[in-house]
Structure 1
Amino acid sequence: MEQAVFADGILTNARILTNWPAMPWATELVWHGGRITHVGGPGSSNGAAGPGTLTVDLRGRLVLPGLCDSHMHFTNWSLSLQEADLFEVPSLAAMLDRLRSAAANLNEGSWLLGRGWNQAIWPEGRFPTRHDLDSACGHRPTLLYAKSGHAAVASSSALSQAGLHAGAVAPAGGFVELDDDNEPTGLLLENPAIGLVEQVCPVPSASAMEAACLQGQARLHAWGVTSVHDFDGRQGFEAFQRLDRAGQLRLRTVNHVSQDQFPHALDFGLTGPMRGPWLTVGGLKLFADGALGPRTAAMAEPYAGEPDNYGMTVVDKEEMLELVALASSRGIASCVHAIGDRANRDVLDVFQEVRRQEREAGVTPDERRHRVEHAQVLLEQDISRFAHLGINVAVQPIHATQDMAMVDQYWGARGRYAYAFKSLLSHGTRMAFGSDAPVETPNPWVGLHAAVTRRRADGTPGPDGWYPAQKVDRMTALRAYTVEAAFLEGLERTIGTLAPGMRADLTIPDRDILACPSDDLLDTQALLTVSGGEVVHRHTAA
């Protein structure tokens, strides 16, 4: 006699948003062996329960597919939880006070690392310098990242260890600011310059990296996040592999190939995405420009009040075309960071030519799911080009609300097409939501609130929100955090939808996020999160 096979888990009396066209809503769901085996109506799961089955009567609560952050720097964010927190410090003076307290708790000679400062909100109205850091931290080597991640400031000790002295010059795509005496001020713009100091920073041990990742994983699970698209490169990918081998990775991760690692990936023989249950190798990641915070995003017209500042180009069009075309010829899609309107136009021009080459080779857009990361401000005539070319976007709604004052100050009327989510969607662009953590919080409920209200948590700028025509509805936002995020990486047949055969990744929020007052979204937590059929988070109230 065959032994009965019982379910690992059953949800009943629920309101299940499935994203499954054949059954958009259901009341019961069953999973076994890490996959969903049944989705149906009342009583349809009768007989599936056994002695060890987790059975939950949800009494009408909402169930969602597990959420995905489509753009974050997971290991950097996880490590930042242990660094000096400089987010929202209201002034340079307040930041220096915080640094003094942080430095007092460190061992002699240890580096002080921090993240989150934003000179745009300070009354001092300027970037910090090495002299500021020296006044607070003395001779301690210190490196502090701006909120955007595209600028940093280093102390005199850190600069000295990095060999940055009078007349220092950054590699192409970066900038080391010098004072009137030709000495570094400590301000470093873009990764090529910041990396000069990073290369002498102590590297976290493997065990420290894994511990940080496990802490970050648990925090994401508590928000209902079960997958991420990660852009942290080799160090993070190595940590994920170690956790996967140890059976501790319960966050599905797509890791992208940085420009410096791309030649090695080709030499190794990478010919397209490599997909496993928990780890996927995705596309090539490139940078077209900088960011709004340090005013290095590449613009078609200069920044307001800075007639000579058009931002910075990191990878120019000619080199980008060579790289994207080469990647496509090897079966690899590209993900290109573009903030400014000129950068986005240049990236679209590159993709237009690559799409032409792909057509000649018989390659369809569905086979190369190229994407633009951020797409923060666009020229009006470029908005329709994304859908026309089949170029997807990974955007961060919280950037819209957190950056709106800087947009108004530096981009002025161009802000009409900044974070233009509704305009892009109206043309048929495929769009996924994320956070860009650690630039912003990866809490998806804060991101969803920003997408549907265009307001900050304190209500700024008012009831209607900032450029309210770009708001999206809650169902659209949820799709951007689930099935659309899966589509961008070719994973829509395994995650993002609650249907038979799909991975059993789901979350149960503590409120009806489709009907609750908008501001209540900000406090949402997951009562229960399941990843791969395993309960990875259970709230005390569950």
Structure 2
Amino acid sequence: MSAKILTNCKVYTFDNTQPYATALFIENGKIVALGNDANSFENPKTEQINLQGSTIIPGLIDGHIHLKQYALNLEKVDCDTKTREDCIQRVAEKARTLPENQWILGHGWNHNEWQEGIGNAKLLDQYTQHHPVLLTAKSLHAAWCNSKALKISGITKHKKNPRGGIIARDKNEEPTGILYESAVSIVQNMIPVPSISEITTAVKVAQDNLLSYGITGVHDFDKRDAFQAFQNLDKTGDLKLRITKNLPLDYLDDAIAIGLQNGFGNDYLKIGAIKLFSDGALGPQTAAMISPYKGQPKNRGMLFLNAKEIVEIGKKATQNSLPLAIHAIGDRAVHEVLIGIRMLIEYENDHDLKNQRHRIEHLQLIHPDDIQMFSSLPFIASMQPIHAASDKTMAIKFWGERTKYAYAWKTVLDRGKGFVTLAFGSDAPVETPNPFKGIYAAITRKRPDESEPSENWTPEQRISLHEAIHAYTQGCAYASSTENHLGKLAPGYFADLVVLDRDIFNLPPRSLLELNCIATMVNGEWVFQTNDKIGQEYFSSAFLS
């Protein structure tokens, strides 16, 4: 691992003791020193790389991603279309290229964006009589399948709803082809499972995509087969991302039995938290609500865990040094999780247990009465700013005036100061993992196609550029208990950094959408470089004599 000096660059360190520098000295994968030019360092034979005035920021960390699903989705039909018919035609095109009886898989539809409304099996059947079809919704909390997939899965009018799921039915009780929450797994369980080798290959390709965005670490929320793929890459030296692997609740007893604890692993792959679900999602209107969805007086969503149930699970976890990461989207779910975490921390204190860094994943809607808890309750607010842009129309439609405290990261920062840590991610493949689009959403609360913020979309919840990048760096590092060597550029910290094509702090907000990563470094080594006309010049290294 060679030493190197990066010179002639604008370094935003995010280190309060030295916020800015123009040169970096790197050795053995870590930052040794920062200065104003190469002469700041007494290492005359060290490789020098002149970055010609480029901007450097700390490596970005995606605090919530489904890496295996993102990797496999790169090969699926893209169902993120403007109309339902466009989605159907993409499926039809795929059907023409596949042998009979081979599954057609797709992802990304959102019926709330389609004027035609939600789909049904018959619409797919006209093009896919010889193929079973499963299209997962953008939220991953619903799916659309054809009649052949329903038949293979044994879903008939006599099939009962599974626990925590709903099979949508018509007036004659026949399945429509739309499945919600756990009902999706009935069909998913019939699809041939990709081998660990195939997953490993797909993840390696997806890793390159993430590195090209300047992402140097992720917090993953997929299952065991993803963990196996990550270990395969680690064994061969092909794992370049730093991965915090969160484990599903199903594996809690197994983790306890073999003594796994938070933080176990190495610098590239380590154990994180235990993932729980307290409710569904906004898209299919299954997020648990205190009051009904607007226009749906009988629908308050689906609550999967209440505070007492969260505490009972949490006791087992915290006794074995495992924090919780709890999915909560609706205000009822958020309320139950906040109460549950408060009770769990009290339990930890009463039993002389270390306070774990418990997380709330998504935290999309907060009831005003619960905000006061932020000023005394330590937890990680793991949020995805790009959801605010994508969900805007749905949120206003189904939550109405309640959106004042939807995707409320400014409230989280201001009211939770000193207690709540804000960590940003993407929730890919639900959204793009491009962090600059997430940062844009955080500071503008706009979709890319909007010129002005809506009066109804709480512009007071916007945060600063520095705060947004902090949430993608130090916030995520704190969430994984790695804040002492990740998240900023300072002596002793890992040399994980991003080289940008423009000064991110001197751009109009809209330019963030076109901001490019020229190079990405992890552990002092370049893991991504562009091939553009200036990229090659940047990495023509010179040596001092």
TM-score range, shorter chain: over 0.9
Alpha-carbon displacement from aligned partner over 1:484-529 (angstroms, at most 9, x marks no partner): 1100110111211111221111011111111111111001111111
- For residues 525 and 367 of structure 2, the distance between their equivalents in structure 1, rounded to whole angstroms, comes to 46
Secondary structure of the corresponding residue to residue 250 of structure 2: coil
CA contact (8 A) 1:63 1:506 kept: yes
- For residues 356 and 95 of structure 1, the distance between their equivalents in structure 2, rounded to whole angstroms, comes to 50
Deviation at 1:184, TM superposition (A): 1.8
2:21 maps to 1:26: yes
Name the counterpart of 1:141. Answer: 132
Name the counterpart of 1:300. Answer: 290
CA contact (8 A) 2:5 2:38 kept: no
CA change 1:533–1:107 in 2 (3 A) is farther
- For residues 261 and 522 of structure 2, the distance between their equivalents in structure 1, rounded to whole angstroms, comes to 29
Secondary structure of the corresponding residue to residue 31 of structure 2: strand
Supply the AA of the counterpart residue of 1:36: I
Alpha-carbon displacement from aligned partner over 1:178-210 (angstroms, at most 9, x marks no partner): 2233322221111x2111111111111233212
Deviation at 1:237, TM superposition (A): 0.7
2:205 maps to 1:215: yes
Residue number among 327, 331, 335 corresponding to 2:321 in the alignment: 331
Secondary structure of the corresponding residue to residue 432 of structure 2: coil
CA change 1:261–1:353 in 2 (3 A) is same
Deviation at 1:59, TM superposition (A): 3.0
Name the counterpart of 2:104. Answer: 112
2:86 maps to 1:94: yes
- For residues 381 and 440 of structure 1, the distance between their equivalents in structure 2, rounded to whole angstroms, comes to 30
Deviation at 1:33, TM superposition (A): 1.9
Deviation at 1:166, TM superposition (A): 2.3
Deviation at 1:342, TM superposition (A): 0.5
Name the counterpart of 2:277. Answer: 287
Supply the AA of the counterpart residue of 1:66: G
Alpha-carbon displacement from aligned partner over 1:450-482 (angstroms, at most 9, x marks no partner): 011111111255488931100011011110110
Name the counterpart of 2:67. Answer: 74
Percent identity, aligned pairs only?
39
- For residues 211 and 175 of structure 1, the distance between their equivalents in structure 2, rounded to whole angstroms, comes to 34
Structure-to-structure mapping, 1:369-408, within 5 angstroms:
369-408=357-396
CA contact (8 A) 2:216 2:522 kept: yes
CA contact (8 A) 1:146 1:152 kept: yes
- For residues 28 and 44 of structure 2, the distance between their equivalents in structure 1, rounded to whole angstroms, comes to 14
Secondary structure of the corresponding residue to residue 502 of structure 1: coil
Name the counterpart of 1:12. Answer: 7
CA change 1:460–1:259 in 2 (3 A) is farther
Supply the AA of the counterpart residue of 1:91: T
Name the counterpart of 1:456. Answer: 447
Name the counterpart of 2:541. Answer: none
CA change 1:530–1:246 in 2 (3 A) is same
Name the counterpart of 1:202. Answer: 192
> Greater CA deviation, 469-478 or 273-282?
273-282
Secondary structure of the corresponding residue to residue 455 of structure 1: coil
CA contact (8 A) 2:59 2:520 kept: yes
CA contact (8 A) 1:373 1:394 kept: yes
CA contact (8 A) 1:226 1:505 kept: yes
Name the counterpart of 1:414. Answer: 402
Deviation at 1:387, TM superposition (A): 4.2
Secondary structure of the corresponding residue to residue 382 of structure 2: strand
Secondary structure of the corresponding residue to residue 297 of structure 2: coil
- For residues 481 and 202 of structure 1, the distance between their equivalents in structure 2, rounded to whole angstroms, comes to 36
CA change 1:236–1:54 in 2 (3 A) is farther
CA contact (8 A) 1:377 1:418 kept: yes
CA change 1:467–1:30 in 2 (3 A) is same
CA contact (8 A) 1:10 1:45 kept: no
Alpha-carbon displacement from aligned partner over 1:276-312 (angstroms, at most 9, x marks no partner): 1110111110000000000000000000110000000
CA change 1:27–1:152 in 2 (3 A) is same
Deviation at 1:79, TM superposition (A): 0.9
- The number of equivalent residue pairs is 530
Structure-to-structure mapping, 1:353-368, within 5 angstroms:
353-363=343-353, 367-368=355-356
> Greater CA deviation, 516-525 or 384-393?
384-393
CA change 1:498–1:519 in 2 (3 A) is same
CA contact (8 A) 2:25 2:41 kept: no
2:330 maps to 1:340: yes
CA change 1:14–1:306 in 2 (3 A) is same
Secondary structure of the corresponding residue to residue 482 of structure 2: coil
Supply the AA of the counterpart residue of 2:497: L
Runs of at least 5 residues in structure 2 that lack an aligned partner in the other structure:
536-545
- For residues 197 and 54 of structure 2, the distance between their equivalents in structure 1, rounded to whole angstroms, comes to 39
Supply the AA of the counterpart residue of 2:85: A
CA change 1:219–1:491 in 2 (3 A) is same
Name the counterpart of 1:242. Answer: 232
- For residues 220 and 387 of structure 1, the distance between their equivalents in structure 2, rounded to whole angstroms, comes to 35
CA contact (8 A) 2:317 2:324 kept: yes
Supply the AA of the counterpart residue of 1:101: E
CA change 1:108–1:139 in 2 (3 A) is closer
Residue number among 437, 440, 443 corresponding to 2:428 in the alignment: 437
CA contact (8 A) 1:453 1:464 kept: no
Supply the AA of the counterpart residue of 2:316: L
Secondary structure of the corresponding residue to residue 507 of structure 1: strand
Runs of at least 5 residues in structure 1 that lack an aligned partner in the other structure:
1-5
CA contact (8 A) 2:78 2:106 kept: yes
Structure-to-structure mapping, 1:246-261, within 5 angstroms:
246-261=236-251
Name the counterpart of 2:469. Answer: 478
Supply the AA of the counterpart residue of 2:341: F
Structure-to-structure mapping, 1:160-199, within 5 angstroms:
160-190=151-181, 192-199=182-189
2:524 maps to 1:529: no
2:479 maps to 1:491: no
- For residues 48 and 527 of structure 1, the distance between their equivalents in structure 2, rounded to whole angstroms, comes to 26
Supply the AA of the counterpart residue of 2:523: G
Deviation at 1:34, TM superposition (A): 1.6
Secondary structure of the corresponding residue to residue 271 of structure 2: strand
- For residues 529 and 503 of structure 2, the distance between their equivalents in structure 1, rounded to whole angstroms, comes to 17
Secondary structure of the corresponding residue to residue 389 of structure 1: coil
Secondary structure of the corresponding residue to residue 186 of structure 2: helix
